[in-house]
Structure 1
């Protein structure tokens, strides 16, 4: 068995990684992590980002519209030893676009891998939202029966199921990393941390106090740093095995506290406003809690999160230093 993080090499000794969605928030860090380990990395996305170059190459492809034949051609041109699917619709897309990105693309990728003569390691990035709501205080392991209640969770679960079925049938050498809420540098402006940063920066630029609004229920979420996710991908690339493995931060984070901590890191004047429930109740309901059991990742991949929440929030704030976004 290969050591965790050791590049998967082809017969010619080369380690080549193809990262679908490689220009996105998570994909960018996955590309950087694999390149640092010695992979020849090709990032695939719609438009070329400014950070690609010698370490990470780029090819333009609209993955949602590409089709199986285009993916086969891409595989034959790059001959990857590792394929990472970091693509998928999350923010600001309609139901049809989400299905194309989270389901159809996965089906086409599996068909392309089956048609191509190579057999790379496939690492599919799933989502903790595939599990759906869980009881308050519970620890969610990989044996938990998924019951997603959002279109995002349902489509991500369909994509995961495609990979697992293909792996069990021997069509692909694939694994699914089921990832919690990702945070860190260059997080999407439409995510909760991204929106909070935008409000803090806009208020500071205008010389006013930022108002950060939250509901009355204490909401706890599992956050993992994007660089830790990239480390998990590298570990999965260097180890065999099938199935689903959770990647999370190891702590249930109070979302209200996260907003307050980000405000302190920013140094901007801010106040968190709790919007009351109509009848004054503090509701602690299923769906207000998320914490993944990450013991399997430690046992099977030798992986554990290394970056704390404070460092993740600070790197997020610093990554937007030159930007002032008005929400």
Structure 2
């Protein structure tokens, strides 16, 4: 029997209702698209947004070029493909854990909708398509893209050996900030590294909120997370991550060598950082770590939080 033969229809419990995969995708493709989390686009957004930050931040010093349009579009495609490949790898590694957690046992691998062999093939297809995009960039960006695979491979196992798997996710999910800065500038400068640090702090913020959904199940099966580590002190830690993210992002903007006469661009870029911080402060005000549904809603709102500085930075480039 083919590994890609049509499997019984199995809906994923934590996917949005009426998502495009369930409504429009051919039935035979649905288990694989669900494996890639195509029915839950938030992960693609959170992987993509630091890439857009970096392109705009690099453009503050020398403006946008036509090439940057390709960078913006191609990194969106690459984020979709690499997020899909990463989620597939994560689910292969976590299939036994996912079967023990109420929220995840309906995912394609633990539910039997996809075989491990089929998942491996699907992962390879997505990674190969992403590689085609990566090889359109300069050699430094290509090297950085290849190096990121080490973080992708390690991440699913982090929760087995450290209380800080969210830090490993931050390292992997924000690598695009360094890569896309290099794709624009041809080198990695201080602003890119500061932006990378801001993204890591942001990931620690939003993924700790996300992890509170599974805190009880994780405790039962022995899976580590910052949500379990911080417990009732989570709000204090989250406030610290918020502060670090804002300070590092503001420092990244200030460290860009902006041409004389572009003071308004600097002010607008910093206004975007301010808006980013206020959005996280709003999340903290609303947070109830004992309400999984609210934790999920706040986690999802980080798409909008991340788009605020992306928009302000992009507009500042044109001033």
Q: Report the TM-score, using the length of structure 2 for normalisation.
A: 0.29
More helix by percentage: 2
